[in-house]
Amino acid sequence: MYEKPQLRRPIIVTLNPCNLPHDSKQPFFRHHKLFSDAYFACTIQYNSLQWYHDAGTARMGPPDDDLAVVDPTLRVYGIAGLRVADCSIMPEVTSGNTAAPAMMIGEKAADLIKRKYRLAEYRSV
């Protein structure tokens, strides 16, 4: 399933008692001793999720950047007719919420597409 890494220093965990997996909402944790290896394996298997806004999975960059997936006009390298217009193009996650950058990326994508098809006169107000 997974290999347990050896810790170089102890990890201090502070949990809110009402959110401990031993509550009645998550009965599959009850048969493990709290903070045992089996407890953490079960936690990882059944209770892992993403808490932050995903970004940077389709990085924008120049053609010579090995990590870049998207060019500056939001077109995917090597796939004609496909653009990416979300926060995945950001090389790094912003320090704030990603809602505003996502809207700006979408607006920029719309402008790029309108410009390509000469639809600039149909600008939204």
Inter-residue contact 59 to 91 (CB < 8 Å): yes
Q: How far apart are CA 121 and CA 111, in angstroms?
A: 11
DSSP string, the chain: --PPPPPSSPPP----GGGSTTSTT-GGGTTS-TTSHHHHHHHHHHH----S----TT-B--TT-TT--B-TTSBBTT-TT-B--SGGG-SS--SS-SHHHHHHHHHHHHHHHHHHTT-GGG---
* 30 and 65 together in one domain: no
Catalytic residue, chosen from 22, 31, 32, 53, is 53
What is the domain range of residue 66?
52-120
Residue 8 lies in a domain: no
Taking only the tens of pLDDT, the chain with its 125 residues reads 555 555 444 544 444 444 444 444 555 666 778 778 877 777 777 766 666 667 888 889 999 998 899 999 999 999 999 999 999 998 887 888 888 999 999 999 999 998 888 876 655 55
Residue 11 lies in a domain: no
* 62 and 94 together in one domain: yes
Catalytic annotation present for 22: no
Residue 68 lies in a domain: yes
Residue 2 lies in a domain: no
Residue 41 lies in a domain: yes
pTM above 0.85, yes or no: no
* 60 and 100 together in one domain: yes
Residue 25 lies in a domain: yes
First to last CA, the chain: 54
